[in-house]
Amino acid sequence: MSAKKAGGSQHQSRDIARVASDSTQELAAHTAVVTGSSSGIGRAIALELAAAGADVLVHCRRSVDAAALAAEQVKALGGRSAIAVFDLADAANHERLVELGWSWQDGIDIWINNAGADVLTGHAAESSFDDKLHELWRVDVTATVRLTRLVGARMRARGKGVILNIGWDRATTGMEGDSGELFATTKGAIIAFTKSAALSLAPEVRVDCLAPGWIQTAWGIKASEYWQERAARDSQLGRWGTPEDVAKVARFLVSPDAAFLSGQIVMVNGGMA
């Protein structure tokens, strides 16, 4: 085993040990679907929900091996798990994912719209502004809207459910540059939609939105010195956030402890400096 692989395994083992140490099972007998949960924030949320007792369906676009590993980690925490592989840029897959998720454990209690297009790393980073906007709109916005409506209708008919969407803290303030314009536009749409969906689906279904700030996912780890410094400078706490920081708040928002919260936009950013 290479040093890189050994380090990755040790990191994943620490993640499992950390969440496994939590004996609270407030989500026992709950079934959750987390889109985009093969890595990053989505994976952290899947593990946090499993630690709370939930069974979790792990979704990915094409990272099947990573999704299978995340599913095994959910099982190691005591939950049942399976993987679903669907490209959410294709609207036809929205119905298929909801149908699969609903039939997997005979209903869904928690749905988290975390999947988002990666336009910051790899070949996509070299795409034009228009191409990036098109991809973000298809995956981040259209999929969130359609999946919320599809699963929300089923939850409402069943009489219960929680939906959590993922926005961005700077969508409420703006940020300069192409990336600022792209993400403020798309994540701002998700924030606005969340507020309306919460009204449409109440009182049976709660709908909230998490708005992370600078979270050190794959892009953040490789970001330039400028962004490393800016992430620390923009937060009152002087550091990047972690996927686990977001996951812990997600766990609370979908739990019975948050039963009187709906239509809320919750910033997870260490406080804007």
Q: What is the rounded average pLDDT of the residues 219-239? A: 90
Q: Which residue has the tokens 């400096």?
A: 273
Instruction: Give domain status of residue 12, yes or no.
Output: no
How many domains does the chain fold into? 1
Give the pair of three-digit tokens for residue 28. 């026992």
- 132 occurs within a structural domain: yes
Q: Which residues contact residue 117 at a Cβ distance below 8 angstroms, ignoring those fewer than 6 apart?
A: 89, 124, 132, 135, 136, 138, 139, 140
In a domain, 215, yes or no: yes
Residues shown for the chain: 273
Q: Is the pTM of this model over 0.85?
A: yes
Alpha carbon of 227 to those of 114, 146, 239, 243: distances in Å? 23, 33, 11, 17
Q: Which domain holds residue 127?
A: 24-268
> How many Å apart are CA 171 and CA 93, to the nearest integer?
27
pLDDT in tens, 23-56: 589 999 999 999 999 999 999 999 999 999 999 9
Specify whether the CB–CB gap between 166 and 111 falls below 8 A.
Answer: no
Handedness of CA 238, 190, 114, 132 (dihedral sign): negative
Q: How far apart are CA 221 and CA 227, in angstroms?
A: 10
Burial of 217 (0-12, 13-18, 19+ CB in 10 A): buried
pLDDT digits (tens, 9 = 90+) for 96-123: 999 999 999 999 999 999 999 999 888 8
Q: What is the CATH number of the domain that holds 162?
A: 3.40.50.720
Structure tokens at 36: 């985009």
pLDDT band at 217 (very low <50, low <70, confident <90, very high): confident
Gap between the Cα atoms of 219 and 245, Å rounded? 17
User: Has residue 2 been placed in a domain?
Assistant: no
Q: With respect to residue 17, please indicate whether it lies within any of the assigned structural domains.
A: no
- The SS3 assignment for 89 reads coil
Ranges 142-146, 167-171, 178-182, 218-222: which has the least confidence: 218-222
Question: Residue 3: is its pLDDT beyond 70?
Answer: no
